[in-house]
């Protein structure tokens, strides 16, 4: 198959899947199908209560994993790769990883295009399935398409196609030209949380969120439209000329024993409605493996019991961490490729291990007690330092300890030498 034919087939597949990803984006931005359908059908009111549990759960998972900065463990005995990576990525925006990971959790996958900016610094651009497409063979990326429109040229579809040698530029499906890149591989990092878009959190809770919004909004409409109840009057005749006087005095006058004057309203079983909402809400939490932190819990719950409650969420987030771990390894690999060209220094990206610190309360006192009882030669000091939540960079911490020890030794008075000097005198 010719490369151009493959590119067009990839673009057609991208267009085929685009509506599904656009719907995911709409839901994340509080624009659900329920809102649209209700606006078309409900003639009495277009108001709609929006309850976006999809966004809430995605942000919770992202904050759980990335609230603390990603650190790196150096496995190279000859080079401080941790310091090299941190220095060469220090110009990146601090919220870059969070933005990327939220999109990966929403769409099931996200990409990162690596490039060299105008200041000759290693940089990246976030690309989602809304504007990107990866072609894989045997789980290996063979081609990547970045589809976009320019701000003042909305009618033209631009497409950059990346392979292992160059970037091929297209306009409205027509090849224009190519530019070589320096990476000798397709410069794209991949974060795949779910292989299939049907396995995403969006697909798990979409219908439940629709049902919750519909029921809650309908209940709100019943309350807000209560003023439109009908006044039922039986066996009574009212002269229109008397209506202003009745309205002013707030009195209706009837004659006879069979007169009935009452409001005709709908009786709502509030317990049934609230139980339905509660059940739907509970199902969303269960399917997403999240915890409702607003629930009332016994005050004597142990820390182990609290940890057990969030075990399912922890296991889910560990799986998500694996996807982010793969992306970080791609990032470090392409950074080292660029450094080998720029500085003629060769580093092994496999000797840098990304470390994720979940945003959980950690008992550092208990950890200190455990380490104090561990035999001296069992674990290294660097491993011991890594167990504490307040130490982000173990190598830097080791350097600080070494520096303080050297300063202390330099300022310490040698009493034995002082005693010998006094005796000699």
Asked if residues 371 and 383 have their Cβ atoms less than 8 Å apart, the reply is: no
Tokens 């182990």, residue located? 304
Per-residue pLDDT tens over the stretch 46-92 = 577 889 999 999 999 999 999 888 989 888 888 889 999 999 999 99
Average pLDDT over residues 242-261: 77
Longest dimension (CA), the chain: 132
Asked if residues 112 and 125 have their Cβ atoms less than 8 Å apart, the reply is: yes
Question: pLDDT class for 352, splitting at 50, 70, 90?
Answer: very high
Question: pLDDT class for 39, splitting at 50, 70, 90?
Answer: very low
Whole-model pTM: value is: 0.79
Cα torsion 369, 372, 374, 377 to 10°: value is 150
pLDDT for position 10:
95
Q: Which of 31, 5, 25 is nearest to 129 (CA)?
A: 25
* H helices, E strands: number in the chain: 14, 12
Per-residue pLDDT tens over the stretch 157-175 = 999 999 999 999 999 989 9
Neighbours of 319 (CB within 10 A): 10
pLDDT for position 302:
60
Distance, CA of 179 to CA of 352 (rounded, Å) = 31
User: Is residue 38 scored above 50 in pLDDT?
Assistant: no
């Amino acid at each position: 198959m010719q490369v151009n034919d493959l590119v067009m087939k990839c673009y057609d597949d991208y267009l085929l899947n685009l509506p599904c990803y656009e719907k995911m984006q709409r839901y994340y931005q509080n624009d659900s199908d329920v809102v649209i359908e209700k606006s078309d059908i409900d003639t009495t009111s277009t108001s709609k209560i929006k309850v976006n549990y999809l966004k809430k759960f995605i942000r919770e998972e992202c904050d759980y994993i990335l609230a603390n900065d990603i650190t790196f463990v150096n496995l190279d005995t000859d080079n401080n790769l941790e310091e090299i990576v941190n220095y060469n990525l220090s110009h990146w925006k601090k919220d870059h990883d969070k933005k990327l990971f939220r999109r990966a959790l929403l769409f099931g996958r996200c990409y990162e295009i690596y490039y060299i900016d105008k200041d000759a610094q290693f940089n990246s651009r976030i690309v989602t399935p809304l504007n990107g497409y990866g072609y894989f063979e045997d789980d290996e990326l063979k081609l990547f398409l970045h589809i976009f429109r320019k701000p003042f040229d909305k009618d033209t579809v631009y497409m950059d196609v990346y392979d292992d040698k160059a970037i091929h530029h297209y306009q409205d499906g027509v090849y224009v030209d190519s530019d070589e890149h320096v990476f000798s591989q397709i410069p794209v990092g991949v974060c795949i949380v779910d292989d299939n878009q049907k396995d995403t959190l969006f697909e798990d809770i979409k219908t439940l969120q629709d049902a919750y919004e519909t029921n809650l909004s309908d209940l709100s409409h019943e309350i807000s439209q209560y003023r439109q109840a009908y006044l039922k009057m039986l066996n009574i005749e009212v002269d229109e000329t008397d209506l202003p006087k009745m309205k002013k005095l707030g009195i209706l006058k009837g004659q006879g024993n069979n007169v009935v004057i009452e409001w005709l309203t709908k009786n709502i079983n509030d317990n049934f409605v609230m139980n339905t909402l509660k059940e739907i809400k509970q199902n969303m939490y269960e399917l997403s493996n999240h915890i409702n932190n607003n629930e009332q819990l016994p005050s004597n719950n142990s820390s182990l019991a609290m940890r057990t409650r969030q075990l399912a969420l922890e296991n889910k987030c560990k799986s998500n961490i694996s996807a982010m771990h793969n992306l970080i390894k791609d990032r470090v690999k392409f950074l080292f490729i660029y450094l080998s060209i720029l500085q003629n220094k060769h580093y092994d990206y496999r000797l840098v291990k990304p470390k994720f610190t979940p945003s959980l309360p950690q008992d550092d006192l208990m950890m200190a007690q455990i380490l104090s009882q561990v035999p001296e030669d069992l674990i290294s000091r660097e491993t011991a330092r890594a167990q504490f939540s307040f130490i982000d960079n173990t190598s830097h911490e080791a350097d600080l300890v070494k520096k303080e020890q050297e300063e202390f030794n330099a300022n310490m008075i040698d009493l034995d030498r002082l005693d010998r000097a006094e005796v000699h005198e």
